[in-house]
Amino acid sequence: MTSTETRTVSHDTFVIDRTYPAAPNRVFSAFADVAAKAQWWGDPDDNDTPQEIEFRVGGRETTVGTAPDGSVAFGYYALYQDIVQDERIVYSYDMTLDGRRISVSVATLEFLPVAGGTRLIVTEQGAYLDGLDTMEARREGTESLMSALDTYLHTSA
């Protein structure tokens, strides 16, 4: 952006509430275990699987991906703020597009035991910058990840 362009920010929150037919420790592990997360996280068409995961409070996670034609580089840079084994993960993260920050978010994942599995509640609060990202796009991406998690849990039993 040049100095004459207008800077904007929009704020929004969304919640995704899903139930998975697996125990909370297994669903939690799909986020905490580096090898497990690499099997379902990201978009394989965009070549974006986690490059670094340091799963601990204060630890970082990094994913950088490109479209198949190499035209778009997305960056995901997370910092784990709170982890309660098998119950909760809270992290903050920013997203970039070709090196330019497009959003900053706080995400909370709650793993609740229910009959036959786990209720996972994902709450995300975001600041979307300069019209480069939107809550709708972020929600769509997160819904896609939760579907990939469902497939992973069904196929890796």
Residue-wise pLDDT for 56-98, tens only, equals 999 999 988 877 777 778 899 999 999 999 999 999 999 999 8
- Count of structural domains within the chain: 1
pLDDT, one tens digit per residue, over 97-129 is: 988 999 999 999 999 999 999 999 999 999 999
**Across 124-135, average pLDDT:** 95
Identify whether 5 is part of a domain: no
Q: Which helix (H) or strand (E) holds 44?
A: none
Identify whether 4 is part of a domain: no
pLDDT at 48: 53
Identify whether 116 is part of a domain: yes
CATH classification of the domain holding 31: 3.30.530.20
> Can you tell me whether residue 24 is helix, strand or coil?
helix
**Residue 58 belongs to domain spanning:** 10-155
**Rounded to whole angstroms, how far apart are CA atoms 110 and 114?**
12
Identify whether 123 is part of a domain: yes
Task: Report the chain's mean pLDDT, rounded to a whole number.
Answer: 90
Cα dist. 24→54, 68, 114, 135 in Å?
21, 35, 9, 27
